[in-house]
């Protein structure tokens, strides 16, 4: 199964570039579905715990075979590993409860844990990731930003334990984690663009990049040669560039 979409769908700078300029925020998901992509990565769950009524509304408005990936809340990826695991059990159950409308309709593909650059390799954090896997099972995908995780044996160890490691496309900067081969039960790709001013840009501008035709051909070849299920999400979201690139890649592959 090949699932292709973008990381998020609700952006103000998509008005006039992706959606009609008068589109209301509540209408954005409907407009996204109309684009013809067959998946989306929900990123609002990173900022706040998922609320089942909100998720249920998205499920009801999605096509039958449309699949969702959900970004794990920042408490898991940016806080708990610093302060201890005391809250992990309670928060994990709360997060999963909010996702019930997705799991009930078999529309949840993966839960993506995007760890920050400050999350450097440490054996304690390997155990933390495995602990997350105990709660979320084989739908858990991890993404690293710090190059210290780029150890083949370590990534293979995580994959063997049932944790999927995302393949990421980022600028070729020395201290960023980069890999073009997903590992684990799920073949998960995140394409962030190749803006070489990554560390000097604001968060929004960091993802200001448009993949060329040749670059998309390279990415398409990576995606073609992995096992299913496959999830591909473009995060070069600035002014909707991700949408055009996702649609172009879908035409190349499907």
Tokens, residue 28: 């954005």
Rounded Cα–Cα distance for residues 66 and 107 (Å): 7
Tally the domains of the chain: 1
What is the rounded average pLDDT of the residues 32-40?
98
Domain range spanning residue 157? 2-253
CATH number, residue 210: 3.20.20.410
57-82 core/surface letters (b: 16 or more CB in 10 A; e: else): ebbeebeeebbbbbbbbebbbbebbe
- Whose CA is closest to 167, among 82, 224, 95, 107? 224
pLDDT in tens, 61-108: 999 999 999 999 999 999 999 887 778 999 999 999 999 999 999 999
What are the C-alpha distances in Å from 222 to residues 106, 109, 156, 228? 27, 20, 18, 13
pTM (2 d.p.): 0.96
On the question of a cis peptide bond just before residue 81, with omega within 30 degrees of 0, the verdict is no
pLDDT band at 1 (very low <50, low <70, confident <90, very high): confident
């Amino acid at each position: 199964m090949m699932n292709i979409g973008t990381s998020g769908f609700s952006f103000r700078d998509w008005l006039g570039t992706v959606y009609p300029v008068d589109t209301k925020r509540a209408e954005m998901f409907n407009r996204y579905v109309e684009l013809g992509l067959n998946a989306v990565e929900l990123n609002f769950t990173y900022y706040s715990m998922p609320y089942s009524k909100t998720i249920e509304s998205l499920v009801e408005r999605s096509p039958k075979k449309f699949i969702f990936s959900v970004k794990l809340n920042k408490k898991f990826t940016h806080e708990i590993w610093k302060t201890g695991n005391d809250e992990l059990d309670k928060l994990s159950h709360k997060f999963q409860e909010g996702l019930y409308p997705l799991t009930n309709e078999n529309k949840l593909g993966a839960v993506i844990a995007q760890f920050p650059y400050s999350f450097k390799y440490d054996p304690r954090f390997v155990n933390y990731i495995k602990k997350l896997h105990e709660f979320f099972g084989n739908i858990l995908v991890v993404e690293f930003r710090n190059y210290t995780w780029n150890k083949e044996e370590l990534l293979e160890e995580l994959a063997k334990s049932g944790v999927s490691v995302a393949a990421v496309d980022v600028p070729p900067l020395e201290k960023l984690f980069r890999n073009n081969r997903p590992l684990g039960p799920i073949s998960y790709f995140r394409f962030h663009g190749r803006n070489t001013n990554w560390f000097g840009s604001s968060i929004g501008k960091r993802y200001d990049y448009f993949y060329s035709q040749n670059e998309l051909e390279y990415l398409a070849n990576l995606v073609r040669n992995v096992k299913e299920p496959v999830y591909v999400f473009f995060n070069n979201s600035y002014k909707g560039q991700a949408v055009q690139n996702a649609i172009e890649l879908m035409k190349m592959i499907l």
